[in-house]
Amino acid sequence: VALVMIPIVFELQDNFVNYKSTQVKFNYKTGEFGQKFLDWMIFIEKQDSDKYENIIMYRPKHKADDKEQLIIAKEAHVQRKDDSFAFSLNQGKMYNFEQGQSIFSGEFDALVVNTQFNTDNLQTKKFYEYWNDLNENPQRAREFVIYTTIALFPLASTLFALCFGLVTYRYEKGYVYLGMFGVIAIYFGLLSSFSQPPILACLGIFSLSLFVSAYCFKKMILSRY
């Protein structure tokens, strides 16, 4: 169940984030600096309904080979579609800045600055597709081992529970609590430390736990009763 539900939960979480990104509204205040539109810093002097006037947009360098860009436009309109969000600029100029030198790149009558939202991933994948790269992706292997061994923990610790549950003598109560926390700490320490190869790691941790629990059950319970 864990191997089926965990990938579905992750997919739904990612889809929710992608869906919310498509619901972005253009909500900028006039006369304020420091507002962002995509990778651009944007300043708007006036707004009349869905029309914006005297816009300044600045795009800083994000990589070494990027160019700083500055756009000045007299007016702009917002264009919202199902899978994109665009800022349509009219009657403006664009400047590129490279190595401290300003380069005038030209005037424009119309320019669209847009983004394409990622709607391809709004479909939930099959749970087994999530584990396709299990043997190549260390993070995926670690997740597989953790979720699988946690799901198997009740079965792996059944005999431990019987051992500590049946030992109720007053002088052994401290030992019981120490044993319970010790089993939990060792089990979760193993699943956190070993993930390669993932399937073998799961089988090894589970088998080792069963073997040790059976040994303890034999020594602590069967030898007495």
Percent of the chain at pLDDT > 70 equals: 68
Q: When comparing pLDDT for 34 and 6, which is higher?
A: 34
Distance of alpha carbon 123 from alpha carbon 143, whole angstroms:
22
Mean of per-residue pLDDT scores for the chain: 75
- What single letter denotes the amino acid at residue 52? Y
pTM of the model: 0.44
**What's the confidence (pLDDT) of residue 86?**
74
DSSP-based helix, strand, coil % in the chain, nearest 5: 45, 30, 25
Q: How many CB atoms lie within 10 A of CB 79?
A: 14
**CA neighbor of 179 nearest in space, from 157, 148, 194:** 157
> In angstroms, what CA-CA distances link 93 with 106, 149, 175, 201?
6, 61, 79, 61
Domain assignments of the chain as residue spans, ordered by start = 22-120, 131-222
Residue 73, class by beta-carbon neighbours within 10 Å (0-12 exposed, 13-18 middle, 19+ buried)? buried
Which two tokens mark 43?
Answer: 């300043």
Reported as a single tens digit per residue, the pLDDT across 8-26 is: 566 656 555 555 555 455 5
| Contact present, 150 and 2 (Cβ < 8 Å) | yes
| Contact present, 203 and 221 (Cβ < 8 Å) | no
